[in-house]
Amino acid sequence: MMPRYVRVLSFVLVVTALFSAGLAEAAQSATTQPASTPPAFGVQFHATWADYTDAERAALLDKLQAAGVQWVRIDLGWASLQEQGSASYSQWYVDLADRAVDQARARGLKVLATLWATPSWANGGGATNVPPQNVADYSRVATWAGAHFRGRINAWEVWNEPNLNDFFAGSAAEYTELLRAGYAGLKAGDPNALVVLGGPSTNDTAWLKSVYDAGAKGAFDVMATHPYMGMADAPPETPDDGTKYTLAHVAAVYELMKANGDGSKPIWFTEFGWSSHANWSDVENWNRGVTAEQQADYLVRAIEYVNANFPYVTNMFWYNERNLASGNAQLDNYGLLNRDLSPKPAYTALHAYLSSAPAPAPAPSTTSPSAPAPTAPAPPTTTAPPTTTTTAPPPTTAPAQVPPKGRSKPQRREAAQSARWPRPTYRLLRAE
């Protein structure tokens, strides 16, 4: 019989061998498991603003392509597109939008377009933030836009930050009526394009609930928010404190969607970001800046935080592409690039991160959801109206710039919402 100590030693050797084999197998499995796929990354591109030349647009898009960016968000102003009335389209602006979209697509970039800003003829002479008197006018231009850009624009966002009076001087119910009209029009023009609910400033669940209560279900394919931090220099992982002023509060947005039967729909951050600038004495919470290095760090950390915790957020759009020149320190310094298109640390960090990240998952189907399309005041026909254009020569001098987005940064607590930094009003971009 084998001595007892030999039997014990043999048992120990066998167990050790099996344990080592298990560790090796686990290690091999870990190295062969596919890495988690981060959200598709996009950047706000103010391509239709007058402070760009075609050469600058091309150079900017080259840099975004080189960094691995997959989407651009381009704002299209209804007030510029239809300056004279519902039957005509400003050819100079159509040409500008065509060039911007085609330049992006030539570099393999997908396009999200924001269709917003009411022309004065549609709202009784009001400002561009005043809703149209008849949402059928918006449905009509949406049908035209969907058909004109069919196959070129992948997704349409119905307005911008409609929870803020500066962008939409109407109620949640009025916005919902506009959303339903826009959805019907865009799907008539391009059934395969995604329709994105206009992203509210912050993760504003109270406003989104009002939109759902007014009948928004079935009128969008993608939910959107702009999860800016109420304390504007707070890191992306700041825990949800129950208010709308953290990125993490997107979880409450998703719970609201599930409660309304939309749990299978994705959420896009159609704007997010931090502004890189020095802080001054007694700087307000919403005006707080970060260093250029912190901006770069927060950008990458935000992508990783969302990827690890909020799998229903499938697209993230950084605001914005380059620094502005309005004279407002907070507003001017969100850019990935400096004003002269030289890279900031944020661009360099994004380039490095996207170069090492797994390829993005295929875009969701652009087929309309199973829910019936909302009933909306329909345009005169279900196809796009003829492109009757107001002929205007390209401006020999730069047209008035669509102003930078003077994004309101309310205080982190509801009690201080009235404290906002000045916002420029929209100035019509027009041919001169």
- pLDDT of 287-325, one tens digit each? 999 999 999 999 999 999 999 999 999 999 999 999 999
* Structure tokens given for 21: 């084999």
Assigned domain for 156 exists: yes
Assigned domain for 395 exists: no
Asked if 192 and 185 count as a contact pair (C-beta separation under 8 A), the reply is: no
Asked if 159 and 178 count as a contact pair (C-beta separation under 8 A), the reply is: yes
* Structure tokens given for 378: 């329909």
Higher pLDDT, 390 or 412: 390
Assigned domain for 423 exists: no
Q: Which amino acid is at 174?
A: E
Give the structural domain span for 235: 40-387+400-416
pTM: 0.81
Mean pLDDT taken over the chain: 83
Assigned domain for 52 exists: yes
- pLDDT of 406-415, one tens digit each? 333 333 333 2
Assigned domain for 181 exists: yes
* Structure tokens given for 376: 């909306």
> Between the CA of residue 233 and those of 97, 370, 423, what are the distances in Å?
34, 41, 20
Give the integer Cα–Cα distance in Å for 344 and 323. 10
Phi-psi region for residue 286, left (φ > 0), alpha (ψ -120 to 50) or beta?
A: alpha
pLDDT at 358 over 50: yes
- pLDDT of 149-193, one tens digit each? 999 999 999 999 999 999 999 999 999 999 999 999 999 999 999
pLDDT of residue 380: 35
Assigned domain for 208 exists: yes
Peptide bond preceding 320: is omega within 30 degrees of 0, i.e. cis?
Answer: yes
Q: Which of 162, 148, 138, 140 is nearest to 193 (CA)?
A: 148
Q: Quickly state the pLDDT bin for 359 (edges 50, 70, 90).
A: low
pLDDT at 138 over 80: yes
- pLDDT of 91-136, one tens digit each? 999 999 999 999 999 999 999 999 999 999 999 999 999 999 999 9
Among 178-182, 338-342, 421-425, the range scoring the smallest mean pLDDT is 421-425
pLDDT at 5 over 60: no
Assigned domain for 393 exists: no
The share of the chain scoring above pLDDT 90, in percent, equals 73
**CATH number for the domain harbouring residue 81:** 3.20.20.80
Query: If you average pLDDT over residues 75-86, what whole number do you get?
Result: 97
pLDDT of residue 257: 98
pLDDT at 213 over 70: yes
Asked if 40 and 71 count as a contact pair (C-beta separation under 8 A), the reply is: yes
pLDDT of residue 36: 74
Give the integer Cα–Cα distance in Å for 211 and 200. 11
The structural domain count of the chain equals 1
Q: Which amino acid is at 21?
A: A
